């Protein structure tokens, strides 16, 4: 690591001022950024610690929603009784992420803005268009077993690794952002850009913007779940995950919201699948055609093609469970 400045700003305005200095970066819990600094992937000239700006509260919004401060630790958010009762899918996603120690450190803002765990992004001797624009992509011909099948580009197939953000996308959460010019709001589902030819530009946020909080809209009467598939039962990143929220009328799906994790450069809202299901009578066949519609544009490579049937089976099974439909019995093919 190179010598490093450090500041603990007085308030958000002071934090924005300090972040405008060349090479300055915000730091929340540090679980990702400190690691990337050790690896030489990030070389900030100075850190602006935003962990103690009073952004660690969870507040009620008019109408039944919640406003979650960006510095709330992941474990506190998962433990909050209001989150567990009104947004169980979010609490489930949180407790499925990382380890107990990391959840006690990691912040909500940092979780949203965490970087991909693509091995080539983390290895400064490899080619990576995200880390060094124009250097190429070692993953395409290399180990891409856990990389994207949706939304990638020739330049980059890195995945966003968060569990929490997948649930937030399904919940239609909104981030409140502060810039020197004022405040703005962005849907979490629109926060991360697709890579295209500029994978180093990861979000729609202007440089020096600070996420202050995340708003969860008022909860709806629904069944929901977060289901994660990984290489070991605990403390591993997803190879695929799904957050699903289903509202059933008598015999029909009044509304459905599906978000997919670890299969795309951002938490992936499965709008095409939702459109197939909404208003229809739930059945295995319906769910299979829905996920087929979502996966129509999938671009799997040799090493991650397994994610296509995995995701299909995962989504169909979760939707069957939520809708009380017998899941299909089938071979692995």
- By CB under 8 A, name the binding residues for another protein: 1, 3-6, 8, 27, 29-31, 34-35, 37-38, 45-47, 49, 51, 75-76, 78-82, 84-85, 88, 91-92, 95-96, 98-102, 104-105, 233-235
Query: Nearest Cα to 218, choosing from 69, 87, 74?
Result: 87
Q: At its nearest, how many Å lie between another protein and the CB of residue 227?
A: 11
Min dist CB 54 to another protein, Å, is 15
Which of 179, 182, 208 lies closest to 19, judged by CA? Answer: 208
Closest distance to another protein from the beta carbon of 229 (Å): 13
Instruction: Please name the residue that has the structure tokens 């129509």.
Output: 296
**Contact at 8 Å (CB) between 214 and 67?**
yes
The two structure tokens encoding residue 168? 């937030």
Q: Nearest Cα to 238, choosing from 130, 317, 159?
A: 159
What is the distance between the alpha carbons of residues 138 and 127, in angstroms, rounded to a whole number?
A: 5
Query: CB of residue 153 vs another protein: minimum separation in angstroms?
Result: 29
Q: Which is nearer to another protein, 58 or 325 (CB)?
A: 58
Query: Which residue, 111, 117, 119, 42, is CA-closest to 72?
Result: 111
Q: Of the candidates 20, 23, 17, which has an alpha carbon nearest to the alpha carbon of residue 2?
A: 23
Closer to another protein at the Cβ: 97 or 152? Answer: 97
Q: Write down the least CB distance from residue 50 to another protein, Å.
A: 11
Length of the chain measured in residues: 333
Shortest Cβ 242–another protein spacing (Å)? 15
Rounded Cα gap, residues 116 and 146, in angstroms: 11
Nearer to another protein, 92 or 294 (CB): 92
Measured from the CB of residue 20, what is the shortest distance to another protein in angstroms?
15
Instruction: Mention every residue, 6+ apart, whose C-beta is less than 8 A from residue 123.
Output: 39
Between 7 and 320, whose beta carbon lies closer to another protein?
7
- For the bound state, the minimum distance from the C-beta of residue 58 to another protein, rounded and expressed in Å, comes to 8
Which contiguous run of DSSP H or E holds residue 67?
Answer: strand 66-69
Region of 64 (left: φ > 0; alpha: ψ -120 to 50; beta: rest) is left
Nearer to another protein, 35 or 275 (CB): 35
Cα–Cα distances (Å) from 326 to 13, 63, 105, 323, in that order, read: 54, 36, 40, 9
């Amino acid at each position: 690591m190179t010598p490093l400045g450090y500041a603990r700003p007085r308030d958000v305005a002071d934090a924005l001022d300090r972040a405008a200095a060349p090479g300055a970066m915000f730091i929340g819990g540090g679980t990702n950024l400190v690691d990337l600094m050790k690896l030489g992937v990030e070389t900030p000239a100075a850190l602006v610690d935003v962990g103690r700006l009073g952004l660690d509260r969870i507040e009620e919004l008019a109408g039944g929603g919640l406003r979650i401060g960006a510095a709330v630790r992941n474990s506190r958010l998962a433990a909050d009784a209001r989150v567990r009762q009104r947004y169980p899918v979010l609490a489930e996603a949180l407790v499925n992420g990382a380890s107990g120690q990391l959840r006690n450190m990691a912040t909500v803002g940092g979780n949203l803005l965490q970087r991909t765990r693509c091995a080539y992004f983390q290895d400064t001797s490899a080619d990576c268009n995200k880390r060094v624009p124009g250097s190429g992509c070692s993953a395409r011909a290399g180990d891409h077993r856990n990389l994207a099948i949706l939304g990638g580009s020739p330049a980059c197939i890195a995945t966003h690794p968060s569990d929490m953000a997948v649930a937030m996308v399904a919940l239609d959460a909104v981030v409140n952002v502060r810039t020197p010019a004022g405040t703005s709001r962005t849907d979490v589902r629109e926060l991360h850009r697709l890579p295209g030819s500029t994978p180093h530009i990861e979000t729609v946020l202007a440089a020096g913007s600070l996420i202050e909080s995340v708003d969860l809209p008022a909860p709806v009467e629904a069944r929901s779940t977060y289901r994660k598939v990984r290489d070991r039962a605990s403390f591993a990143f997803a190879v695929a995950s799904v957050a699903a929220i289903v509202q059933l009328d008598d015999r029909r799906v009044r509304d459905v919201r599906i978000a997919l994790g670890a299969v795309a450069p951002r938490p992936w809202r499965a709008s095409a699948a939702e459109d197939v299901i909404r208003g229809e009578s739930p059945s295995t066949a319906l769910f299979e055609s829905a996920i087929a519609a979502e996966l129509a544009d999938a671009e799997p490579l040799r090493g991650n093609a397994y994610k296509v049937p995995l995701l299909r089976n995962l989504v169909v099974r979760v939707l069957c469970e939520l809708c009380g439909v017998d899941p299909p019995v089938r071979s692995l093919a």
